[in-house]
Amino acid sequence: MTRAIRTVGVCGAGGTMGAGIALVAARAGFKTISFDMSEGALDKAAKQSVDFLDKSVTRGKLNGDKRDAIVAAMSRTTSIDGLRDCDLVIEAVFEDLSIKRDLLGRLDGACAEDAIFASNTSTLSITEIASGSKHPERVVGMHFCLPAQLMKLIEMSPGILTSEETFRTAWQWTEACGQMPVKTQDKPGFILNALLVPFNNDAIRAVEAGVAEPADIDRAIKAGLGYKMGPLELLDLIGLDTQIRLCEAFYPITLDPRAATPPLLRRMVAAGLLGRKSGRGFFDYQGNAMFGA
């Protein structure tokens, strides 16, 4: 039997996505423990989160007492044993099957027998990830949208062995956080990335072909299709190196030529142009604030 979720752990919380997920959990009133191997990354993410909350107070979207409660609910650790009291652990580590499987095996040894493990994977099979755990029935897909602290949608995907109780408990938790879950099958890219990875690659190839400048491509997509963010701006937010990992995970499964990594993307990453996190990608950025702050 799974237990009520009171304490949430986030693995890879020093990254953009993990930090956002931790904010979602703490904002909903759950005790939240951020885990990352890098203490510096955790410190940086914590500062960005506090800055984001402070800006929310300044804008009148949050009162000071609520901001203090959210900060008080958040703690961080560089030891996986620090997650031992978690009822739900969400992994948001690199999009690499072996890394995720290994992490689940380590979580088996660190967490309680009834803890739920959720993967924030955007392209990989939940069933294959769950094979890293001795308890695949307690593993579920929970794909947040970037930036997690602003976007409501969560793609919920059961693996072949995911129990109905695990899926239902995880679903109810997302609703308790004020998010909007949708159920997807355990198929490559689920809903969003099955459509988005090829589409974003098309935008990169349009830049490479000289169709238009990045700003004009994004402007056309936003004005013509009603998107709030253009594909190249979104790629800078995701991280161009992350897009390569998505392509490398997605293309071998689907053999969709549109999902193959565009040459321009590899050149930009080789040059250190990773997007917002490096200060420059398709666009230039000032400062190092969390998106929305």
- Could you tell me if 197 and 165 lie in one domain? no
Q: Where a domain ends, among 155, 183, 211?
A: 183
pLDDT averaged over the chain?
94
Distance, CA of 127 to CA of 104 (rounded, Å): 12
Can you give the pLDDT at residue 114? Answer: 93
Residues 231 and 109 in one domain: no
What is the per-residue pLDDT across 151-169, written as a single tens digit (0 to 9) for each? 999 999 999 999 999 999 9
Checking if the pLDDT of 4 tops 70, the result is yes
Please give the average per-residue pLDDT across 75-96, as a whole number: 96
User: Taking residues 226-235, what's their average pLDDT?
Assistant: 95
Residues 127 and 268 grouped into a single domain: no
As a whole number, mean pLDDT of residues 283-293 equals 72
Could you say which of 160, 183, 206 is where a domain stops?
183
Active site members: 122, 143, 155, 193
Assess whether 67 and 206 both reside in one domain: no
- Domain containing 201 equals 192-278
The model's pTM is 0.87
Top pLDDT among 245 and 79 is at 79
* Structural domain total, the chain: 2
Is residue 292 scored above 90 in pLDDT? no
Residue 32: pLDDT band (50, 70, 90) is very high
CB burial of 186-201 (b: ≥16 within 10 Å; e: otherwise) equals bebbbbebbebbbebb
pLDDT for residue 1: 42
Q: What mean pLDDT comes out for the span 135-146?
A: 96
pLDDT at 201 over 50: yes
Please say which residue of 152, 183, 214 terminates a domain: 183
Look at residue 253 in the predicted model and tell me its pLDDT.
Answer: 85
The domain that holds 35 is classified in CATH as: 3.40.50.720
Please tell me the predicted confidence (pLDDT) of residue 286.
80
**Same domain as 225, residue 134:** no
For residue 102, the model assigns a pLDDT of: 97
The answer to whether residues 146 and 204 belong to one domain is no
